[in-house]
Structure 1
Amino acid sequence: MKEQELYLLITRYLSDQTSEAENAWLADWLAADKSNQQTFEEVKRVWQGHQRISDEESIQALSVLRARIAAGEQRVVPAKSRRLQFYWFAAAASLLVALLAAWYLFPTKSNNSRLSYLTIVTKPGEKKIIRLEDSTRIVLGPGSQLSYPKVFDKDNRTVSVKGQAYFEVSQAPGKPFIVQTSVLSVQVLGTHFNVHADPDQPASTVALLEGSVKIRLEGDRSWLLKPGQEISVDHRTRQAALNPLDSATVLGWQQNVLVFKNEQFGSVAPRIEKMYGVKIIFNNEEAAETRLYAQFKDEPLENVLSAICISGVLTYRQQGDTIYVTMKKSS
């Protein structure tokens, strides 16, 4: 993509004029290189600057930039500096053209308008890395959903999660980062933590690796987590429990690791379903209640199911994307 096209795309994004496909392209471009993030911030700074001044002042400022570019082109400079100066003039001229075009074609909304949100959804078996405009990095797990504003407001940085996500939050003093789920909210200032908030699971969990987070529940209940702690909130009773963090279990999904520690097959089935994009159906209650103790890393689904059924107590058959599991009846 040419420089002018890129600047136009960024300004259209800031003006809430981009499509979902363009938003996805920008997200990938931002995550690809830190220099891309710097370019985005420079364009955003210029673009937002014109919102705080009148149209007449904006025209005057752009005229000054245009005059500087023209004056620079006429200035005699040493040969060694000409190449660097040429690139600077080319970039400045491209930015000027793009901003002028975007200013008139895509006028920004007033500061009183509501924030514009983006929603990222992953399919079963899919993970995505999202880089927010404050440089916060998020790994969104399979079968999950993340909603966040294109540009955070001045008081806080609030996102919402359904499913599983790992956060590396950039520090911004006085501007807390807040993650909202259906049953709890997490407030941080700069830290690494994992959120698992699946509606089809019996509980939501937050696990803290670095820093500190404050967990809030309805009824003004709150907990301050320390590194190495995990809080679990029961969806039905809303009761909370603090437990030591098991990093292999909590973070394994990022490296396609499944860890089962004396858990019922029925309770871990949703994790298998989301990782491999299948549906597991138990033909009898005994099969769902079978307890599993195993660990798998980057294993094909067939290997996982074969290992689970290796004792001969359970059998399975696959029909398309559906897995039927049965416990053998004793003779």
Structure 2
Amino acid sequence: MDRNRLYKFFSRKSTLEEEEEVLDWMERSDANQQEFLNERSIYNMTLMHVDDCSDGIGKYKKGFPIWGKEIIKVAAMLAVLFAMHFYYSSKEEEMSLAFNTVKVPSGQRVNLELPDGTKVCVNACSELTYPAVFSKEKRNVKLKGEAFFEVAHNANKPFVVETELCDVEALGTVFNVEAYPNSGEVSTALLSGKVRITDRYNADNRILLSPNQESEFTGQIFKVGNIRYPDHLRWREGLLCFQNMPVDKLIKELEKYYDVHFVISKSDILTHILSGKLRINEGIDHALRVLQKNVFFEYSRNDESDNTIYIK
């Protein structure tokens, strides 16, 4: 930062725009803050020695004693520090009110890191909303869909995932939450740490999960047990894994991952139970050919650009 610009700031001759520019520059790094303080000290020393009288220490300079200059120096430093604190506090509060929203389309997934260092993988057809800067008291995010969280540890600031039906609170935890809108269900699988799950409409209705446990919440009722099929969480690797899954539910998974819509006239296939793994990037036609080895059906589509698939 140019020294003259800083001295103009110190002498309170900067415009509001110039003041904001100096404060923004200082906020960018510890080195900038140190340079700011160093230049402030030099400026204060300059104030003390300008207009010095030659008749000894303790004499007045233009009617003002040297010890008075010291008081002004300290007061100026306190004023700057107070202004810095006020500026940073107001800016942090302003940023905590600004939110980012990540929307993941069908067939995609997104990895991101939150402001506190928490790592999140967001699944297809999902939406995650989080603040640009977390507040001092809490770390709350909102989820519509499915996401896998590796929460950065901070015992004094709980991490809470808000869903349509319940809140999942964690401290230094690795877990998966599935809460698609209008599904009427929130599924949580815990790999490490602990989570507390609370009914959003009845705070007394809550449970604690231990590692390798999962829960299903359908509004009022929690079902808790050991994780039955860990491979289900391998969607983060681009795998669609299913075990003892009815075809009607599997069809919904295919719609989510491939951005297609099924029209089914052969309804008797929907009750078949299937298990297996599909690599998502191999495409919908490959997935359907694999299913045809276990369930008899034919499918067609008008053209490759049409996302409607007819099963008969």
Structures share fold, TM-score greater than 0.5: yes
The answer to whether structure 1 residue 137 and structure 2 residue 119 are counterparts is yes
- Count matched residues: 238
Relative contact order higher in (CA < 8 Å, ≥ 6 apart) = 1
- Please say if 1:43 is aligned against 2:28: yes
SS in 2 for 1:167: strand
Unaligned runs of 5+ in 1: 1-14, 16-41, 50-60, 70-102, 327-331
- Specify the SS of the correspondent of 1:314: coil
Cα deviation, 1:15-64, whole Å, max 9, x if unaligned, reads 9xxxxxxxxxxxxxxxxxxxxxxxxxx737799x9xxxxxxxxxxx8743
Out of 188, 192, 198, the position equivalent to 1:206 is 188
Q: Is the 8 A contact 1:136 1:170 kept in 2?
A: yes
TM-score (norm 2): 0.67
Shift of 1:272: 1.4
Report the structure number with the largest CA radius of gyration: 2
* Displacement of 1:311: 4.2
Matching residue of 1:233 = 217
Structure 1 residue 173 displacement after superposition: 1.8
Give the drift of 1:312: 5.5
CA contact (8 A) 1:248 1:259 kept: no
Distance 1:111 1:134 in 2: 14
Query: Residues 212-231 of structure 1: matches in 2 within 5 Å?
Result: 212-217=194-199, 218-219=201-202, 220-231=204-215
Contact 1:144-1:163 within 8 A present in 2 as well: yes
Residue 323 (structure 1) aligned to one of 306, 309, 312: 309
Match of 1:302 in 2: 285
| Matches of 1:65 and 1:117, distance apart in 2 | 36
Letter in 1 for 2:233: L
Distance 1:137 1:44, change over 3 A: farther
Structure 1 partner of 2:8: none
Q: Kindly state the Cα deviation for residue 154 of structure 1 after the two structures are TM-superposed.
A: 0.8
Give unpaired runs (5+ residues) of structure 2: 1-19, 21-26, 43-83
1:266 aligns with 2:248: yes
- 1:99 equivalent in structure 2: none
Tell me the SS of whatever aligns to 2:298. Answer: strand
Distance (whole Å) between structure 1 residues aligned to residue 111 and residue 30 of structure 2: 25
Rounded to whole Å, the distance in 2 between the matches of 1:46 and 1:246 is 52
Correspondence 1:281-296 to 2 at 5 A = 281-296=263-278
User: Shift in Å at residue 296 of structure 1?
Assistant: 1.9
Change (3 A) 1:144 1:45: farther
Q: Matched residue of 2:301: which SS?
A: strand
Q: 2: distance between equivalents of 1:66 and 1:290? A: 76
Identity among equivalent pairs (%): 27
The question of 1:186 aligning with 2:164 is answered no
